[in-house]
Chain A
Amino acid sequence: MSHSQVHNHSPSTEFIAGAKAIIPLVIGAIPFGIIFGTLAQSSGLSFVGAIAMSALVFAGSAQFIALGLLATKTALPIIILTTFVVNLRHLLYSLSLVSHVQRLSPFWKFILGFWLTDEVFAVAINRYHKSDRSIHKHWYYFGAAIFMYLNWQVCTVIGLTLGHLIPNASNWGLDFAMSVTFIGMVIPYVKNKPMVVTVIVSGIMALITQNLPHQSGLIVAATAGVIAGMVTQKINK
């Protein structure tokens, strides 16, 4: 994809490059943030509660599922358990980051951990996988993360205040923006046989495990895809 060459690896150039790289994903998240804000109050979450949730939890799919559960008056422990299961994929993301963040200070690890979402991970790991020896790649992550974060807060507030002006916003299929964004992120990976196998297996497994509770099928499907890719790689050697 059209990543601009980073010639000078200073913190500020990394920061700006990261913010630029996540622009398409920020655009894809806009409808989600607005719809979250729009649905929050009708689901029984207060104005302040919705803002606090976006600011402190910062996990789109978990926030949406929490709204759905709140609306049906689900018990608190169930909502929290669901949050755990829905966000468990982030554990795999942090495992992928382990070898890249080792020499960072505890403060950096804290904020990078707090901001670890699907979109931020997808953008940041691309940077970490580039072979150049920049020691400021975490600034790239930082630039991408803070942009994503601020956008999520602004969109939540827009949804809360102006959402009622958009009739049936949740029925427009705007969630499709995330699907196409992710399609665009997957395509560059699919350039050898193991990757093709990974994508096919995880796609099929995701359909088969769709009925597992709380999106836990996502982790099963992704793990199956990873294993299938590894096995193919071994056979091909």
Chain B
Amino acid sequence: MSQQEFYLIGAMAIVTFLIRYPLLAISNHIRLPRQIIEALNYLPPAVLTAIIVPAVLMPTGDEIILSYSNAKLVGAIASVVVGWRTKNLLATIMCGMLVFTVWQWLFSP
């Protein structure tokens, strides 16, 4: 490992930890207003959705592709349907991946 790599990884580790840890460290001294605690209930679905939607609708990263040729979109729709019906996480993942893989194979150039 070169010296530059050492500094890079060290700095990335410290920066990441200094985001994740401090609020936990001082949590005893924080009293969150009820409003904030309520708002934080919406955070997990909000963040996850903000990660999912561009990944699925913009598979190339630069444009929205709303077409049957977008295998990620078709796979995502399949997983939403299965997830909604079964409420089973593993089934949701498996069906989504299966539909995506088959679709990609069928329509790949």
| Chain A interfacial positions (CB closer than 8 Å to B) | 1-2, 23-24, 27-28, 45-46, 48-49, 52-53, 56-59, 62, 66, 70, 76, 79-80, 83-84, 87-99, 101-103, 106, 109-110, 112-114, 116, 118, 121-122, 125, 129, 173, 175-190, 194-195, 198-199, 202-207, 210, 217-218, 221-223, 225-227, 229-230, 233
- Quick one: which of B42-61 are within 8 Å of A by CB? 42-59
Interface contact B24-A183, CB-CB below 8 Å: no
- Smallest CB gap from A28: residue in B: B93
| Chain B interfacial positions (CB closer than 8 Å to A) | 1-2, 4-5, 7-13, 15-17, 19-25, 27-28, 30, 32, 35-59, 64, 71-72, 75-76, 79-80, 83-84, 87-90, 92-93, 96-97, 100, 104
Which of A83, A90, A198, A199 is within 8 Å of B12, CB to CB? A83
Q: Is the interface of A mostly helix, strand, loop or mixed?
A: helix
A230-B9 Cα distance, complex, nearest whole Å: 39
Interface contact B21-A110, CB-CB below 8 Å: yes
A7-B23 Cα distance, complex, nearest whole Å: 31
A53-B16 Cα distance, complex, nearest whole Å: 11
Of B9, B11, B13, which is in contact with the most chain A CB atoms at under 10 Å from its CB? B9
Interface contact A194-B27, CB-CB below 8 Å: no
Q: In the complex, which residues of chain B have a beta carbon less than 8 angstroms from the beta carbon of A98?
A: 23-24, 27, 30, 32
- Smallest CB gap from B48: residue in A: A182
Q: In the complex, which residues of chain A have a beta carbon less than 8 angstroms from the beta carbon of B35?
A: 230
Q: In the complex, which residues of chain B have a beta carbon less than 8 angstroms from the beta carbon of A189?
A: 44-45
A48-B49 Cα distance, complex, nearest whole Å: 34
